[in-house]
């Protein structure tokens, strides 16, 4: 098993400040099944809303990506890392506010996990060619079977003698 990835989160915020070098969060070095499953759930739930999807993925990575940390409680005991605990979201929000380490941890989680957990989902998407069409796509067929209409527009460039030119309809 690989060593956890350390993310420094700033000055020690534990009671009594027992960490002179500041606090740190240690992340799983690779995506675990729990991280992947939570991320896939977020995509399923919020995949059509980019903002909510980003929040869902970040929350999934934070909920299950933290292996350990240096935070201690009032008695000097380590604050447990318990993603299944009822107050785990509140614990993360309290100990990792956005402007005091939360951003750094979220960014590192994204760098560590996003590619691995999203790659299988991306592989399921239809393949697209450079022009945006899938390999087996064809032009739409009109119900009437007629050719597409053309629109006549007046254009009088030099040398046309005032003749109308035909411009295909959009």
**CB crowding 115-138: b at 16 or more within 10 Å, else e:** eebbeeeeeeeeeeeeeeeeeeee
pLDDT at 129 over 90: no
- Domain coordinates in residue numbering, the chain: 5-124
Average pLDDT over residues 59-64: 94
The more confident residue out of 83 and 158 is 83
pLDDT at 109 over 60: yes
- The CA-to-CA distance between both ends of the chain, in Å, stands at 58
Give me the helices (H) in 27-98, please: 33-46, 50-65, 88-95
* pLDDT tens-digit map of 66-80: 999 999 999 989 999
4, burial (CB in 10 Å: exposed 0-12, middle 13-18, buried 19+): middle
pTM over 0.75: no
Contact 155, 165 (CB under 8 A): yes
pLDDT computed for residue 120 by the predictor: 82
pLDDT band, residue 142 (cuts 50/70/90):
low
Average pLDDT over residues 123-130: 65
């Amino acid at each position: 098993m690989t060593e956890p990835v350390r993310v420094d989160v700033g000055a020690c915020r534990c009671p009594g400040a027992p960490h002179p070098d500041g606090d740190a969060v240690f992340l799983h070095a690779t995506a675990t099944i729990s991280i992947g499953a939570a991320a896939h759930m977020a995509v399923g739930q919020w995949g059509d809303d980019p903002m909510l999807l980003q929040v869902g993925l970040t929350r999934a990575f934070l909920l299950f990506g933290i292996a350990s940390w240096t935070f201690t409680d009032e008695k000097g005991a380590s604050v447990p890392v318990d993603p299944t605990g009822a107050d785990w979201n509140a614990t993360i929000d309290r100990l990792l506010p956005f402007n005091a380490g939360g951003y750094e941890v979220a960014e590192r989680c994204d760098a560590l996990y996003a590619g691995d957990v999203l790659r299988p989902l991306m592989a399921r998407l239809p393949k697209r060619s450079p022009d945006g069409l899938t390999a087996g796509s064809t032009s739409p067929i009109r119900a009437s079977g007629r050719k597409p209409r053309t629109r006549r527009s007046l254009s009088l460039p030099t040398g046309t003698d005032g003749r109308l030119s035909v411009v295909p309809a959009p």
